[in-house]
A and B are shown apart, each in its own frame.
Chain A
Amino acid sequence: MSEFVELNFGPQHPSTHGVLRLKAKLDGEIIRELEPVIGYLHRDAEKLCELTFYADNLILFDRMDYVGSMLMESGYLEAAEKILSIDPPERAQWIRVVMNELSRIAAHLVWAGAFGLDLGMLTPFFYCFAERDKILDIFTEICGTRQETNYMSIGGVYQDITPEIMDHILEFTETFPKRLEEIYKLFVKNDVFISRNKGIGVLDRETAIDYGVTGPMLRASGVNYDVRKAKPYLVYDKVNFEVPVSYKGDNLARFLVRFEELRQSVKIVREAVKKIPDGPHFNPKAKKPMMIRLRGDGEYYARTESAKGEFGVYIVGDGGVKPYRVRVRSPTFKNLSVLPVLAKDQMIADMVAISGTLDLVFGEIDR
């Protein structure tokens, strides 16, 4: 019987993207067995949701995927508004699409920068975060906060979008594509980057579906599934965009799919900002003092496409002002569960590259 060396990796380690602990059994430099240990950021948001009003729960969702908080907000509201029978007006839906896509760009830029760091590239990190800061400046203008925005609310959005902000967003969509191609070249023109990612961590279609993997990871494995196309929510059926799919399933494929998504998101933002109709940005049925008195009944499962994959929110209401049960389908939780399969019989250094392409955000995994 051969003997393995046990290696503890994390929970405080720069390349684990948060507080992930990995227990590996090593045969030389090859990983034979890998066990992720999670829960270091756990605060049981699902329980906290049961204790507060429907309107107040929004801030808990901000803190799930904290790099793309608008996506989390609209994911929760997709379910909560149906439970409370409140429809957001058309203008609010368009504003939400713009904010969702800006948030997706911000989230993917964090991933790209951190992925570079995992592979020992420092430069792209600064490029990515400089661009991300411009989006956060737009968020500051529109709601006063950079990350945990709490901008959307039941019945619409909390503040109306002004023509100046729309100009700033359009200006961003003009300058960003050029910078994006620069960042892209920093990665793909680097031979070391290509050789460390091409053919590494291949995830085949059957395994991906079996483990419940969604989002860019699933699309990189050859499944054309994007909730924005499959079951359009908000006004995603009225904007033009394409869903990138790769059939290789390796690290490089996941990288390329995410970069193509960045380009598509810019396209959506540019189109949606111009199409924002006039009208109210808020449904008066859900105005401020009334908001916490709204009663929800029935069950609803809403799925939305977050930056990481299919973000599902399942709410069970019992006719009260607080939800009876809230369940979150966290895409990164499922994506991480496939890491032991991907990292088996790989080198330690490759495992770091693979976990970099999973796009882990621990606020969402541990909830």
Chain B
Amino acid sequence: MKEQLGESVSAVNGKDGIMVHTVAKERLFEFMKEMKEKGFDSLSLITGVDRKDYLEVVYHLHNFATDEYVEVKTTTDNGVVPSLVSLWSSARWDEREEYDLMGIKFEGHENLKRIFLPENWVGHPLRKDYNLKNIQYINMDKDGEDYATFDPGDGW
């Protein structure tokens, strides 16, 4: 079951029977805009998958009127994809989370900073090459902002 949709490829390849559209990241924003006009009013989930030599970004879209779910996939070599905050507000926190843990940069996000970890944390934990043995500690400075440090004496 394959069909050509502009420059994107659509197929069902997961076990869940959800239609997957694969789009080049240059066309992602226009494609998503079309999807929103088609009635997909909610961006349910953004997932980054580290495929070792490239990053894959998976978007789950939901249409509340027909209860239809679709996946939109795109790949990136340098970790930069366009931001979708102007289309769905739910992207605002999801993109910050994926930036924090996976290191994907969303171009056009107005406030792309880490959401869980302190701003100076080294590395992105969900990357496959992240070194788990390199322990970082968290402390708080005089202004009440958290910071990360490698010095165990400085941690809590």
Contacts and interface: CB of A to CB of B under 8 A. Distances in A.
Interface of A: 8, 38-39, 42, 44, 46-47, 82-83, 207, 209-212, 223, 225, 230-231, 298-303, 310, 312, 314, 316, 324-325, 327, 329, 333-334, 337, 366
B13 A42 contact: no
Contact of B15 (A82, A225, A334): A82
Interface string B19-59: 00000000000000000000001111101011000000010
Nearest to B46: A327
Given A210-B90, A329-B44, A231 B67 contact: yes
B58 A314 contact: yes
A211 B89 contact: yes
B152 interface: no
B16 interface: yes
Interface of B: 13-16, 18, 41-45, 47, 49-50, 58, 60, 64, 67, 69, 71, 88-90, 92-94, 97, 101, 115-117, 125-126, 130, 144
Contacts of B89: 207, 210-212, 337
A44 B101 contact: yes
Contacts of B44: 212, 310, 312, 329
29 contacts: A38-B115, A39-B116, A42-B116, A44-B116, A44-B126, A46-B101, A209-B41, A209-B64, A212-B43, A223-B64, A231-B67, A298-B14, A299-B15, A299-B16, A300-B14, A301-B14, A301-B45, A301-B60, A301-B69, A312-B45, A312-B60, A325-B47, A325-B49, A325-B126, A329-B45, A333-B93, A334-B93, A337-B89, A337-B90
Contacts of B71: 301
B47 A314 contact: yes
B101 A337 contact: no
Contact of B16 (A46, A301, A325): A301
Majority-rule SS of A interface residues: mixed
B54 to A, nearest CB: 14
Contacts of A46: 101, 126
A329 B117 CA distance: 19
B86 to A, nearest CB: 11
B15 A314 contact: no
Contacts of B15: 82-83, 298-300
Contacts of B60: 301, 312, 314, 329
Contacts of B90: 210-212, 334, 337
B64 A327 contact: no
B5 to A, nearest CB: 20
Given A82-B15, A82-B16, A300-B16, A210 B88 contact: yes
Contacts of A314: 45, 47, 58, 60
B67 A327 contact: no
